[in-house]
Amino acid sequence: MEKLAIEGGPKAKTTPNVPMYPGGLEIGETEKREVMEVLDRKYLFRYYGPKEYPSKVTELEKRFSERLTSKYALAVNSCTSALISSLVAVGAGPGSEVIVPGYTFFASCAAVIAAKAVPVICEVDDTLTIDPTDIEKKINKNTKAVIAVHMRGASCDMDSITKICKKRGIKLIEDVAQACGGSYKGKKLGTFGDTGCFSFQYHKIITAGEGGMCLTDNKRLYDRLMAYHDTAACWRPDRFGMPRYEGEIFCGVNFRMSELTGAVMLAQFNRLDGLLSKMRKNKKRIKDRIKRLKNIIFRRFNDEKGDTAISLIFYLDHKEKVKPFVEALKAEGIDAGGIFDKSIPDWHIYAHWKHIMDKVTPTEEGCPYTCSYHKGKPVEYREDMCPKTLDYLSRSVHLDVPAQLTDEDCDMIAKGILKVAGRLLQ
């Protein structure tokens, strides 16, 4: 058996690692042309642009809603803004509880606090997405919404989750930040819930550096999203007119997307299908070459066909094996990592959300945790409150799958995994 690189043997992978910026690495002349058109037209703000030109942001919304088969799309300045706007739109606020998974970027939880509601942290299962069984356990009379996060590019169990929410009269918000273009049983992610929220931050599949999108099929929710994201109400047919119905107008914030962001995203949106195709091909090539390994268990999928393939994740049988396995892979020239290590802070894992665990708030009143509208048992947090989540994450080995990998890169990655597993997992 070939000597491991960590022991002085030759590396399995001799090519440079590719950073995981799928759309970012593709930025080129198309994005430049779109941006220069905005600058040449001197049209930087969608509501007050020169009347002879169309808005790039409006065009992006139209194309996004058509591509993802949703009636309404609203462009905003980040996915966090999309989540906050969605929570406000569905009526989450003082006295409300919102269920979020214990494995998601902290922004999913922070948005709940920003909407003045209380987050309730839920287990994930072996798909690393929110566990429907634990959702049902966490529901009580205060539960207003569930945020289903399609984590690491793959769908939640949307059949079970939508059934639970409809049965219990709970709103469903999808966080599609890491899974743009993914699907579940042929239906696009972001179109199952009352709203769907997307991210265009630089680490995402397509990007403008920042930016986000809300989808909904509900006209009244769309109006509320519009109202909250634009406190100046520029979007209304008669900006200064009386409300067209009760509850149309209320105080909001400024989460609007700029025309420059919209211009970049129009170019990036054309790249989405190509990026997904490349990542899916690369992941399949690697996985096919290592699938006979007996001492690893691949992450389970609710619908593998709809996976965006941004990552390859598998479990080892004991968490103590992850660190030496990952270190050996890195020595082979493969950019791999474990997901959870208690000693290494990672804001994607609830146990590291120190400001949530300790209920830290910007003012001494302690809202929303001390809100008088919240009835019943106070929500409490502990670092060990989701043991299943920590177990799965602590046994996970994670590899990004950039679209820019070559076939040679994929084969060398597979070779390295086989080499390390052959020695360390006997």
Q: 237 falls in which pLDDT band (50, 70, 90)?
A: confident
CB under 8 Å to 29, separation ≥6 — which residues? Answer: none
Tell me the C-alpha distance between 255 and 177, whole Å: 17
Which CATH number characterizes residue 83's domain? 3.40.640.10
| C-alpha to C-alpha distance for 283 and 143, rounded to whole angstroms | 38
Burial class (CB in 10 A: 0-12, 13-18, 19+), 264: buried
Determine, yes or no, domain membership for 373. Answer: no
What pLDDT sits at residue 114? 97
Q: What residue numbers bound the domain in which 57 lies?
A: 29-271
Q: How far apart are CA 7 and CA 423, in angstroms?
A: 11
For 311-322, write each residue's pLDDT tens digit. 999 999 999 999
Span 356-373, mean pLDDT? 94
pLDDT value at residue 133: 98
The predicted structure's pLDDT at residue 238: 86
Which residue carries 């909250």 as its tokens?
Answer: 228
Would 362 be classed as within a structural domain? no
Q: Is the pLDDT of residue 244 over 90?
A: no
Instruction: Report, as an integer, the average pLDDT of 111-117.
Output: 97
**Is pLDDT at 206 greater than 80 in this prediction?**
yes
The verdict on residue 87 lying in a domain is: yes
Provide the pLDDT for residue 38: 96
Tell me if 358 is assigned to some domain: no
320 in a domain, yes or no? no
pLDDT-derived band at 123, boundaries 50, 70, 90: very high
Q: Are strands 143-149 and 97-101 parallel, antiparallel or unpaired?
A: parallel
Is 174 within a domain? yes
Chain segment 276-319, per-residue pLDDT in tens:
999 999 999 999 999 999 999 999 999 999 999 999 999 999 99
What local confidence, expressed as pLDDT, does residue 382 receive? 97
pLDDT at 245: 87
pLDDT of residue 248: 85
Q: Is residue 95 part of a domain?
A: yes
How far, in whole angstroms, is CA 97 from its chain's centroid? 21
The amino acid occupying position 96 is S
Spatial neighbors of 292 by CB under 8 A, at least 6 apart, are none
Asked if the structure places residue 128 within a domain, the reply is yes
- Domain count of the fold of the chain: 1
